[in-house]
Chains A and B, each alone.
Chain A
Amino acid sequence: MIYINISIITFIVKLSITTKNNTIFFYFELLLLIIIVLSYYYATPKIDSLNITWILCYIIFLFIIMLTLILFAKNLLVKNEKNILINLESRYYYRKRRTKFIKLLLSKIYNSKRGILFYEFFTSEIFSKKNILSIGAGIIFTAFYLILIFNYPFIEEEKKLAEKTIVVIFLFIQLILSGILESRINSQNWYFYKSMPVSFIKIFLANYIPYLIFASLIDFIIIAIIFITTKEVLIWLLLITDMLFIPLIMWNLSFRYIRRKILGMIVFGIIFLIYISLRILTPYLCFVLFSIYSVFLIKYNIKIYKNLEI
């Protein structure tokens, strides 16, 4: 359950990032989260033995974690316009801000496009005060969450799972990385790009592919670990959320009107429900599929990224 819930938070945060600063979506996502969490509880027979106070506590903690992460992601979005330039302009834009250590570390690789991938991560806004605070808050809440799970009086099985904290830590890292990397996607200044002799899709790809490579790689590692240790259904969740994240971003980029975004969200919701109903399929199959998917995705994206000329 812990994996499922954390992956749901990842999913919600991802959703939140793509929908940007839209308050209506924030509440929509919050509602979605509560519904999902409650439905998980009602779907399991353990519910009869649970104390309602615990459930409420649990939901509140989930909410706080989610809120922290969303705020963290939104802090990044404030600087998003700079981020979108990193791929194109990192060679000079961040030059003046980098530290000596990073300079030393990346001096050999940052001139190549592959190098930019790492360069932009190390020089990103992650080191700003606000974000360090947000990450700190996120870690504290996660610790609370883990303590809560460890002391959870009724679910032995989950306690056992929670002991494998390394997996949770991995997930949390993935969450942070996703937030940072996904926040690079930006549909603002559409007219600016449209008036320039450069393909908007190329700019989008230049910003999205590094994320995709990172996220896929990290997901793959996490899933491999989870598969080896627990064979949880999280494999499904991560697989689907990442796969759906591509069209979701596309939707958000192309739909400049809220009505269409809502439609996109509804379609996305339907797909998510179908996924939930399909998750009885064997995780072994998922693992094989995900392996193929990841390897292809990483290989293909590196190829595109290397050939991307703007």
Chain B
Amino acid sequence: MILLDDVSKDYGNNKGIFKINLELNQGIIGFLGENGAGKTTTIKIIMGMLTPDSGKVFIMGKNLWEDNNYYLTKKYIGFLPDADILFPDLTGRENLELSSYFKTGDRNWYNRLKEIIENFSLTDFLDEPFKTYSSGMKRKMHILNSIIGEPPILILDEPHNGLDVMSNIKMKAFLKEYASKQNRLIFFSSHIIEMVEDLCEYVIIIHKGKITSQIRLTRDINLTEYYIKNTI
């Protein structure tokens, strides 16, 4: 579903990502790395928000930077960035309406997410301006925003940030259910090993801008030990 072919982005002083080759298919794939390892840079390149210095990015077999693919591929991707991107002066509902309009052409599409909205305890706040939400609520709104149109690919940059324990549990359950349907990929970055261990079938470790390891998780693998081994 996503293919990165020799992708590099150099910020100087050994910062950035270097010759990244990745093939991401179905399931929940964790992207593990410490702060500044290059997780967000990789994600931004996949989203086309950063142009790589070299290499190619393919989404659903389409070269991101050819023809109109940049816009077309966005239909397949739900994106949760590490910062707020929704409109602070609009209400939660209006934000969802806007995303629905862009992604599906139907402004009421978000009504299909009623159950999840309730599950996230957001129903009573939908008509409040987004700026009045707590950070956890904002995060949950962003998660809802990313799944509008039920895209086959979800790219989540540290989705657990700001979430309380209960919300975290609900989010994990939701992501598992979302990924259980056929031909779906959830690619999420994190620096919390337990979160990745709990959710993922497959883990990619990035360290100092380079992929140091890719591993399918099994019961006999201790991810913490494995991670330490691959980042020193």
**Residue pair B103, A192 in contact (C-beta under 8 Å):** no
**Residue pair B103, A197 in contact (C-beta under 8 Å):** yes
**Residue pair B107, A92 in contact (C-beta under 8 Å):** yes
B34 CB–A CB distance under 8 Å = no
A129 CB–B CB distance under 8 Å = no
Q: How far is the CA of A245 from the CA of B74 in the complex (A)?
A: 31
**Residue pair B102, A198 in contact (C-beta under 8 Å):** yes
| A88-104 residues at the B interface, CB under 8 angstroms | 88-89, 92-93
**Residue pair B72, A195 in contact (C-beta under 8 Å):** no
Q: How far is the CA of A93 from the CA of B86 in the complex (A)?
A: 16
**Residue pair A196, B102 in contact (C-beta under 8 Å):** yes
**Residue pair A192, B94 in contact (C-beta under 8 Å):** no
A27 CB–B CB distance under 8 Å = no
Interface size on B, residues (CB 8 A): 26
A39 CB–B CB distance under 8 Å = no
A260 CB–B CB distance under 8 Å = no
Checking B71, B85, B87, B107 against A198 with a beta-carbon cut-off of 8 angstroms, the contacting residue is: B71
B215 CB–A CB distance under 8 Å = no
Contacts of B87 in A (CB 8 A): 81-82, 85, 189, 192
Shortest distance in angstroms between A207's beta carbon and chain B's nearest beta carbon? 14
Contacts of A79 in B (CB 8 A): 89
Chain A, interface size: which category?
Answer: 10 to 19
Q: How far is the CA of A307 from the CA of B73 in the complex (A)?
A: 23
Shortest distance in angstroms between A286's beta carbon and chain B's nearest beta carbon? 41
Q: How far is the CA of A198 from the CA of B149 in the complex (A)?
A: 14
A interface: dominant SS = helix
**Residue pair A197, B89 in contact (C-beta under 8 Å):** no
**Residue pair A93, B74 in contact (C-beta under 8 Å):** no
Contacts of A199 in B (CB 8 A): 71
Q: Which residue of A lies closest to B94 (CB)?
A: A93
In the complex with contacts A196-B102, A197-B103, A82-B75 CB distance below 8 A:
no
Most interface-central of B72, B81, B101, B103 (chain A CB within 10 A): B101
Shortest distance in angstroms between B39's beta carbon and chain A's nearest beta carbon? 16
In the complex with contacts A85-B98, A89-B101, A197-B74 CB distance below 8 A:
yes
**Residue pair B101, A191 in contact (C-beta under 8 Å):** no
Contacts of B83 in A (CB 8 A): 191
B90 CB–A CB distance under 8 Å = yes
B48 CB–A CB distance under 8 Å = yes
Q: How far is the CA of A191 from the CA of B86 in the complex (A)?
A: 9
Q: How far is the CA of A78 from the CA of B89 in the complex (A)?
A: 8
Q: How far is the CA of A190 from the CA of B30 in the complex (A)?
A: 26
Q: How far is the CA of A192 from the CA of B99 in the complex (A)?
A: 9
User: Chain A 23-50 against B: per-residue CB contact (8 Å), 1 yes, 0 no?
Assistant: 0000000000000000000000000000
**Residue pair A82, B81 in contact (C-beta under 8 Å):** no
Q: How far is the CA of A182 from the CA of B208 in the complex (A)?
A: 44
Checking A85, A189, A194 against B86 with a beta-carbon cut-off of 8 angstroms, the contacting residue is: A189
Interface residues of A (CB under 8 A from B): 78-79, 81-82, 85, 88-89, 92-93, 189, 191-192, 194-199
What are some 11 contacts across the A-B interface (CB < 8 A)? A78-B89, A81-B88, A85-B98, A89-B101, A93-B94, A189-B86, A192-B86, A195-B77, A196-B74, A197-B73, A197-B103
Known: A79-B89, A81-B87, A197-B102. 11 other contacts (CB 8 A): A82-B90, A88-B101, A92-B107, A93-B94, A194-B49, A195-B47, A195-B81, A196-B99, A196-B102, A198-B71, A198-B102
Interchain residue pairs A-B with the least CB separation, the first 6: A197-B74, A195-B79, A196-B102, A191-B85, A192-B85, A81-B87
